[in-house]
Structure 1
């Protein structure tokens, strides 16, 4: 279980880190006008924070309780992303958002209940 959680955490960190970086740094002309650029940047920074949060606290064993909280935050981002894509009729994006949300939910559950990481000394 612990290995599966670490693999999931690394996958989430890579995926949300790269997506968050793109959203936080891409020029405004890159994004369609349906969403304010400020919101896109906020989502990008939130994804970057989540990417760091699912990996670094657990790896460093410094405040490891932040890892499942970061994963829960990523679940919320994916729930909102799914609603956004549904409202625009973009059903092809649902499999990715629901899959990532499920992976983040697995990490949140696993690090809260099944294999929590103890703080280092």
Structure 2
């Protein structure tokens, strides 16, 4: 089970890293033109950049604490925050009638919930 939790956390970290880099560094008009990115054209650029920064921090918080042996409780805390972030993402995509991203967000939410459950519950570090 420990291996499955590590795999789920690593997958989420990869998703968070990719999303964080794009939201932080890609120009807003480019993001708005991509499938599922319509919302970025209707949101303040500072808010998009802030979400990107949060995703970069999530990528770090999902894998680095147990590797360094410093505050490994940050992994389930980060996973729980990711659940909340995905709920917001799903609501935003629903508002813009972007349904494929909702399905992906639901998958990421399930993975994050699994990591939070496992690391808070029966399989802590």
TM-score, normalising length: structure 2: 0.89
- Contact 1:31–1:37 under 8 Å retained in 2: no
Unaligned runs of 5+ residues in structure 1 are none
**Which residue number in structure 2 is paired with residue 55 of structure 1?**
63
Question: Which of 99, 118, 121 is 1:91 aligned to?
Answer: 99
CA displacement at 1:29 relative to structure 2: 2.6
- Within 2, Cα distance between the matches of 1:5 and 1:31? 31
> Which whole-Å deviations, capped at 9, do the CAs of 1:67-111 have from their partners, x for residues lacking one?
110111111110000000011111121110000011011101110
CA RMSD of aligned residues (A): 1.0
- Contact 1:13–1:51 under 8 Å retained in 2: yes
- Aligned length in residues: 117
For 1:26-37, list aligned pairs within 5 A: 26-32=26-32, 33-37=41-45
Unaligned runs of 5+ residues in structure 2 are 33-40
For 1:92-111, list aligned pairs within 5 A: 92-111=100-119
TM-score, normalising length: structure 1: 0.92
